[in-house]
Amino acid sequence: MYNYIDYKEYYGRIMQFGKNKKVPIHRWYPFVEGYSREFIESIISEQTIVPRNCLEPFAGSGTTALELQRMNIECYSFEVNPFMYTLSNAKLKANSYNSATIKKHLKRMLTTISTISDSEVSNISDFSTLVESEGKKKWNLNKPVFLAVEKIILAIEELHSKKYRDIYIVVLANVLLEFGNLYRNGKCLSYKKHWQQNEYTQQEVFDHFSLIIEKTILPDIKTQNKKLNCDNSQKLYLGDSRTLINEKIENSSIDLIITSPPYLNSRDYTDSYMLELKALGYLTNLSDIRKLRSQTLRSHVQLKLENNFQLSNELLSDTVDKLVDASQNGESWNDEIVLMVQAYFDDIKQIFEGMFKKLKKDRMVYFNVSNSAYYGVLINTLDICASIAEDIGFEVIEIREARYLNPSPQQREMVGKLLEGVIVLKK
Ligand SMILES: C[S@@+](CC[C@H](N)C(=O)[O-])C[C@H]1O[C@@H](n2cnc3c(N)ncnc32)[C@H](O)[C@@H]1O
């Protein structure tokens, strides 16, 4: 139906976030769900006119805005998850940071930490599994780790310069990955193997915090071009892009859109980043969690969904019919999956409508997403998104095949591998 082009060899070489892991600044946090800086570079290199600005509705770890900033291209980006927002913000400010100030801050933070006693930091949390205590079977952070993290947070808060705090929070998030009992397993958080045997001390946590600053942050800052004309941190917004792009961006003002939304894979980003969100104080109670989920694209079943969808699209209706049939035949009938699929495309439509309004005529969108499968039914997300975009008024130029992803073994038997691609649209 659409013009599929094989980019697997090319995108296979350049596209995955793993490529960012050795690149200064991009490497500040291991983000699984992102793409590489080379992907952005390759899109810019194929434009006949260098764009003046770009829109990125799903900033994630900030790859798009950061790479464009390096090229002096303005980027308006939006991120709903406050930890991801802090991460993007810290990375985008990297060229304005000063190594001597960071060294001074580190010294001051370590002095502050040495004056805080254990009893001064709260060792209780509203979240029952966050910290070790008597009677619990599982906890995310051993007590010494939790106390050390709380002391570092206090030391960060005591610094006068707000601008630098975001970097230290990002460093502390790396410490959580190292000393916490959880890891991200691709879908959600799981306990590390033999986590009960870990016996970390507070001093080990403080040492690791210093080490990341010395071995990663300071060397990366030295590599930065201090004379960039463009500061994309000023155009990074915290909130729900489904509605916020309408408030923050003028109609027909955008030259280019590059983005990758959450995929329709039941992954709840709020859950995946729960350790950072709770331990770093972004979420303090259950109502905070509910609020964040309600602002996040509906690609999971953690929210109660109402069946009140407006979207009429033939491809989607066919898929939903097949899904209803297949799910009713299966052992575990669960209409939440069917509702999630509809809610997801409802949200995609809202995003496409916003993008269409903001983009200038004749300009392009690069939309990276993948197909999914439930109950043995292929959800051809690439085709359905392209078709929704077409209904809104975009021309679908092509769909670039990037790579095949593995669904669960059960789905794989029925639908095979799932195509990930880039939908190229023109207004
Ligand atoms: C696939 S990731 C983007 C990755 C990014 N391209 C990178 O390389 O880091 C999708 C991001 O969208 C964010 N997100 C989900 N719903 C959102 C919404 N309604 N508004 C803004 N951001 C949202 C998620 O928190 C997640 O960070």
Per residue in 354-403, pLDDT (tens digit) is 999 999 999 999 999 999 999 889 999 999 999 999 999 999 999 999 99
In ligand 1, the atom with minimum distance to the C-alpha of 34 is 8
Q: What Rg do the C-alpha atoms of the chain give, in angstroms?
A: 22
Query: Residue 333: pLDDT above 60?
Result: no
3-state secondary structure of 127: coil
Q: Give the Cα-Cα-Cα angle 181, 184, 187 (nearest 5 degrees).
A: 135
Q: Of all atoms in ligand 1, which is nearest to the CA of residue 60? A: 27
Give the C-alpha separation, 42 to 245, whole Å. Answer: 25
Q: How far is ligand 1, taken at its centre, from the CA of residue 261, in Å?
A: 6
pLDDT digits over 89-121, tens only? Answer: 999 999 999 999 999 999 999 999 999 999 888
User: pLDDT digits over 256-305, tens only?
Assistant: 999 999 999 888 888 889 999 999 999 988 899 999 999 999 988 887 77
pLDDT of residue 123: 62
Q: What share of the chain is helix, strand, coil (3-state, %, to 5)?
A: 50, 15, 35
Tell me the CA–centroid distance for residue 62 and ligand 1, in Å. 9
CA gap 260, 57 in Å, rounded:
8
pLDDT above 60: residue 332: no
- 337: pLDDT strictly greater than 90: no
**Superfamily in which the 4-81+232-262+301-426 domain is placed by CATH:** Vaccinia Virus protein VP39 (3.40.50.150)
Least confident of 78-87, 121-130, 185-194, 319-328: 121-130
Nearest protein CA to atom 2 of ligand 1, as residue: 60
Question: For residues 153 and 280, is the Cβ–Cβ distance under 8 A?
Answer: yes
| Every domain of the chain and the residues it spans | 4-81+232-262+301-426, 98-222
Please give the pLDDT value at position 407: 79
Query: Which of 175-189, 219-233, 382-396, 407-421 bottoms out in mean pLDDT, i.e. has the lowest?
Result: 407-421
**Could you identify the atom of ligand 1 that is nearest to the CA of residue 88?**
9
Q: Find the 51 Cα to ligand 1 centroid distance in Å.
A: 22
Our answer on whether the CB atom of 420 is closer than 6 Å to any ligand 1 atom is no
Residues contacting residue 185 through CB under 8 Å, at least 6 positions apart: none
Q: Where are the beta strands (DSSP E) in 260-358?
A: none
For the chain, give the percent of residues with pLDDT over 90: 72
